[in-house]
Amino acid sequence: MSYRVMSGELEKHVGASIRLCGWVHRRRELARVTFLVVRDRAGLAQVVVPPGLPVPGEESVVEVTGTVVANDVAPGGFEVAYEAIEVLSEAEPPPVELFRPAVDAGLPALLDHAAVTLRHPARRAVFAASAAAVKAFRVTLDGLGFTEIQTPKIVGTATESGANVFALDYFGRRAYLAQSPQFYKQTMVGVFERVYEVGPVFRAEPHDTSRHLATYTSLDAELGFVRDHRDVMAVLTRVVRAMSAAATAGLPGAEPVRMPDEVPVVHFAEALRLVGADPAEPDLAPEHERALGAWALAEHGSDFVYVEGYPMAKRPFYTHPQPSDPRWSNSFDLLFRGMELVTGGQRRHRYADYVEALGPQAEGLSGYLAAFRHGMPPHGGFAIGLERFLARLTGAANVRETTLFPRDLHRLAP
Amino acid sequence: MSYRVMSGELEKHVGASIRLCGWVHRRRELARVTFLVVRDRAGLAQVVVPPGLPVPGEESVVEVTGTVVANDVAPGGFEVAYEAIEVLSEAEPPPVELFRPAVDAGLPALLDHAAVTLRHPARRAVFAASAAAVKAFRVTLDGLGFTEIQTPKIVGTATESGANVFALDYFGRRAYLAQSPQFYKQTMVGVFERVYEVGPVFRAEPHDTSRHLATYTSLDAELGFVRDHRDVMAVLTRVVRAMSAAATAGLPGAEPVRMPDEVPVVHFAEALRLVGADPAEPDLAPEHERALGAWALAEHGSDFVYVEGYPMAKRPFYTHPQPSDPRWSNSFDLLFRGMELVTGGQRRHRYADYVEALGPQAEGLSGYLAAFRHGMPPHGGFAIGLERFLARLTGAANVRETTLFPRDLHRLAP
């Protein structure tokens, strides 16, 4: 029996009888010849079939046996001369023509028919880039002495606040889906000093926006023995630089990522001034983020800009205040092309500070607070939204385009 | 300011004034000298402090400045001669003495105080081994052309069956936590041919056993263009071999894993005969699995044994029947030291077969069935329970010992 060759490796097998396995990407029946373009995990390859032979329709799964021949006018310079074809699965015609250069479908159709539309080479490339980005995240942190962890997604108390949590019936008790691994990654700094986690987080977002989902993949990291949040930012910059390089390598048409050696850093108070906002604003609005992104690109040639020092009043209880002025915090956001991509910062590390910040709420968090009661170093961390990163990178207008099977207010399938 | 040196690298800095940062693992105040053993992410190092100086208690977080000196009687042959100490965090005495060779606590105390007990070097080693195993899983599959995916954990329909699912209120609708990524990984075979996912799965297990949890980490893989389940088993064997090697490398006391070049394979019917069970039994009981494990070790010198051909009646609807006799299936379990570690098999791939197998249930699964309607190759896959793998590897009697923060019928914290 002939051996299988991937579409990208035909040139190494000229003259050999091989098997090409994949989906019929396109069938073109001309008067004197039929062309089958076969799609496999490596790409596309053309099969030349004598005219008049019955060939299966698009998306059928086939095993073609044939001889590899060089042909200057074939895509890639090589093609397969048909000897036999076995149809492994017949397919109904796809709801969207996958051989077109772009997917001709609106967002609802794109998502409703995800099982098929994701097969389009352009769609597939986005998620191959996503996998490359996640790998770069891990490789970078592995190289810095981090350890990967898996922490619970079902929790007894809401992590960040009582809002936006999904509740479930847990063997007759009330439990919640974790909004983030925050408490656990901090706890694990006590064990490994440096940890990361790649996993789902859950937010019952009641808003229908182009940048929020009910669940997304969070790339979390946390590290101990930092001086302040700037040490966290230094690690984050390395991570995002590696992720950007890895992801764009697989996206030929993507805009190159501009990330100078020194990513600009602006204090929150200065950021408000730069964008002409009221100095009493407690947070940055989306239009402020866009203006800061434009400023960073114009002034620093950077797609990224750090905003540090967000007001303590708008940050969660575990946020470490800015030592020089405790109205501000040692926290930051990293904006990517004018949109928040990462939130991070230094955390409090002294038990007494937690007890004071939490007040009566400390009661329900004794498992978490045990880490601080029994000695924790100065530490901090960050969380990157994977789908949002891919959206900014590819220029997708909606984060749903960079999520395999998104979940939102309305969508629970496929 | 002196630079930080990790405990494992003192020998490279003899004579230098360095900083050692970590937790006070042990404090021993003798008449003529005080010893502080400092624990950092790399291990332990001894600091020699002049007598009478106040030193912080166990688990306090310190930055010690001192000179590295060789000392044959110091652990590792090197120690740090005290110059100064800064206490970054005071700690209350830990609930369990972490400097003892073994953790002196029963399972409930071990888990209740996880934030502290996980710091014990022996506990920490288990989860470092876990991270190494997950990395080996990914590296092996990356090398075989697999692509990593992230799929939804909130689903509109139960995956495997209606039993054992957690229900939640999803913006006023009923939704479920995914019992596995099964439907999505199969769908993604249509996109990438070969995919894997590392993520949480959720089972509302009503039984309180030493090997079941309400949520665990599932290492899932799925691949297309297989002849049958044996191709899936060949990939799995490579994966488990790499995971075993990577994990045991970090567990000096662990029993070596015995995995011959050819892992024994027994048909289900033969397995029943081997263990003296009733030939009409539809499944293997735990004692049968133990007996098969003992047989594999005695007869084949193997900690692993595959059982293939489980009765179709006991396998889910997507299971591919055994072509030679459709009472049996092309599915398998991999037993590790007498316990089921992995379930896998070949899946059905023809749309008509799904429609027939599902009957009226097909209605609710149209998003999943679209993959088959529009062409899917013969494929199969497997799911490895990470925590169970670590339990078998370390000899832990209970899977809770190899889970950072386990969730079960009773436990929802920490």
Per-residue pLDDT of A354-388, as tens digits, reads 999 999 989 889 999 999 999 999 999 999 999 99
Of the candidates A94, A134, A194, which has its C-beta nearest B41's C-beta? A194
pLDDT at residue number B79: 97
The candidate with the shortest Cα–Cα distance to A28, out of A71, A75, A72, A70, is A75
Contact assessment for residue A369 and residue A318, using Cβ atoms and an 8 Å cutoff = no
**Cα–Cα distance measured from residue A334 to residue B46, given in angstroms and rounded to the nearest whole number:** 40
Tell which residue, A149, A287, A144, has the closest CA to residue A218: A149
Q: Is the pLDDT at A162 greater than 70, yes or no?
A: no
Q: Region A391-402: what's the mean pLDDT?
A: 96
Using the beta-carbon criterion (under 8 Å), do B118 and A191 form an inter-chain contact? yes
User: Has domain B114-402 been given CATH number 3.30.930.10?
Assistant: yes
Q: Which of B6, B398, B18, B219 is nearest to A192 (CA)?
A: B6
* Residue tagged 């008509």 (tokens): B352
Contact A154 B202 (CB under 8 A): yes
Residue of chain B with shortest Cα separation from A200: B153
Can you spell out the DSSP letters for B188-244? Answer: HHHHHSEEEEEEEEE-------SS--SEEEEEEEEEES-SSHHHHHHHHHHHHHHHH
> Which pair of tokens denotes residue B51?
């007598």
Question: CA nearest B76: which of B163, B140, B9, B141?
Answer: B9
- From the list A1, A5, A67, A66, the residue with the least C-alpha distance to A40 is A5
Q: How far apart are CA B230 and CA B380, in angstroms?
A: 9
Q: Hey, are the CB atoms on B149 and A131 less than 8 Å from each other?
A: yes
Instruction: Please tell me the distance from the alpha carbon of residue B153 to that of residue B183, in angstroms, as a whole number.
Output: 12
B122 neighbors B102 (Cβ within 8 angstroms)? yes
Q: Domain B3-89 carries which CATH code?
A: 2.40.50.140
Closest residue to A89, CB basis, from B142, B170, B350:
B350
A11 is in an annotated binding site: no
Judged by CB atoms closer than 8 Å, whether chains meet at A41 and B194 is answered as yes
Residue A152: how many CA atoms within 13 Å on its side-chain side? 27
Taking residues B182-189, what's their average pLDDT?
A: 98
Per-chain mean pLDDT for chain B: 96
Pairing of strands A173-177, A154-155: antiparallel
CA atoms lying within 13 Å on the CB side of residue B282: 5
Q: Answer yes or no: is pLDDT of B299 > 80.
A: yes
How far, in Å, CA of A153 to CA of A180, rounded?
8
- Cis amide prior to B51 (ω within 30 degrees): no
Least confident stretch, A20-34, A203-217, B313-327? A203-217
CA B93 to each of CA A116, B57, B265: distance values in angstroms, whole numbers, following the listed order:
58, 7, 52
Q: Is A43 helix (H, G, I), strand (E, B) or coil?
A: strand
Residue A305 · residue A297 · CB < 8 Å: no
Average pLDDT, chain A: 96
**How far B278 CA sits from the closest chain A CA (Å)?**
35
SS3 of residue A242 by DSSP: helix
Cβ of A187 within 8 Å of Cβ of B409? The answer is no
Q: How far apart are CA B236 and CA B329, in angstroms?
A: 18
For residue A1, pLDDT beyond 80:
no
Cβ contact, residue pair A371, B116, below 8 Å:
yes
Sign of CA dihedral A361, A363, A366, A370: positive
pLDDT computed for residue B206 by the predictor? 87
Separation CA A63–CA B224 (nearest Å): 12
Report the chain A residue with the minimal C-alpha distance to residue B117. A191
Give dist(CA B110, CA B402) in Å, integer. Answer: 11
Which SS3 state, helix, strand or coil, does residue A214 take?
coil
Residue pair A184/A192 in contact (Cβ under 8 Å)? The answer is no
- Token pair recorded at residue A335: 């904006």
- The whole-angstrom distance between B300's CA and the closest CA on chain A is 32
**What CATH code is assigned to A115-402?**
3.30.930.10
Is B91 within 8 Å of A375 when comparing Cβ atoms? yes
Q: In chain B, where are the structural domains located? A: 3-89, 114-402
Q: Half-sphere exposure of residue A344, counting CA atoms within 13 Å on the CB side?
A: 29
Residue A159: its pLDDT value, please? 62
Which residue out of A18, A27, A59, A89 would a mutagenesis test of the B interface target, given it has the greatest number of B Cβ atoms within 10 Å?
A89
User: Would you call A414 helix, strand, or coil by DSSP?
Assistant: coil
pLDDT at A160 over 90: no
pLDDT in tens, A246-272: 999 989 888 999 999 999 999 999 999
CA distance B193 to chain A (A): 6
B344 marked among binding-site residues: no
How large is the average pLDDT for residues B60-73? Answer: 97
B211 belongs to an annotated ligand binding site: yes
With a cut of 70, say whether residue B159 has pLDDT above it.
Answer: no
pLDDT band at B162 (very low <50, low <70, confident <90, very high): low
Residue A58 has pLDDT above 90, yes or no: yes
* Min distance A61 CA to chain B CA atoms (Å): 6
pLDDT tens sequence across B221-239: 999 999 999 999 999 999 9
Q: With bands split at pLDDT 50, 70 and 90, how would you rate the model's confidence at A158? A: confident
Among A156, A377, A414, beta carbon nearest to B413: A156
pLDDT of residue A252: 82
DSSP SS3 for B402? helix
**DSSP secondary-structure letter at A20?**
E
Among A61, A1, A110, A235, CA closest to B378:
A61
If you average pLDDT over residues A203-226, what whole number do you get?
A: 94
Average pLDDT in the B372-383 region? 98
The answer to whether A155 contacts B202, with C-beta atoms less than 8 Å apart, is no
Q: In chain B, which residues have their Cβ closer than 8 Å to the Cβ of A168?
A: 166-169, 177
Q: What is the pLDDT of residue A254?
A: 87
pLDDT score of A397 = 94
Query: B374 vs A409: CB contact, 8 Å cut-off?
Result: no
A340 is annotated as contributing to ligand binding: yes
The answer to whether the CB atoms of A115 and B349 lie below 8 A apart is: no
A39 is in an annotated binding site: no
**Distance of alpha carbon A410 from alpha carbon A212, whole angstroms:** 12
Look-up: residue for tokens 């005290």? B82
Measured in whole angstroms, how far is the alpha carbon of residue A390 from the centre of its chain? Answer: 5
**Cα-Cα-Cα-Cα dihedral sign, residues B112, B115, B118, B124:** positive
- Burial bucket for residue B30 (CB in 10 Å: 0-12, 13-18, 19+): exposed
A173 annotated ligand-binding residue: no
pLDDT above 80 for A239: yes
How many Å lie between the alpha carbon of A117 and the closest alpha carbon of chain B? Answer: 9
- Is this prediction's ipTM beyond 0.90? yes
Which of A135, A215, A378 is the closest to B88 by Cβ? A378
Q: What is the mean pLDDT of residues A55-62?
A: 97
Q: Give which of A385, A382, A381 is closest to A393, Cα–Cα.
A: A385
d(CA A352, CA A260): 40
**Confidence at B23, pLDDT banded by 50, 70, 90:** very high
pLDDT tens-digit map of B78-96: 999 999 999 999 999 999 9
Question: How many angstroms separate the CA of residue B118 from the nearest CA in chain A?
Answer: 6
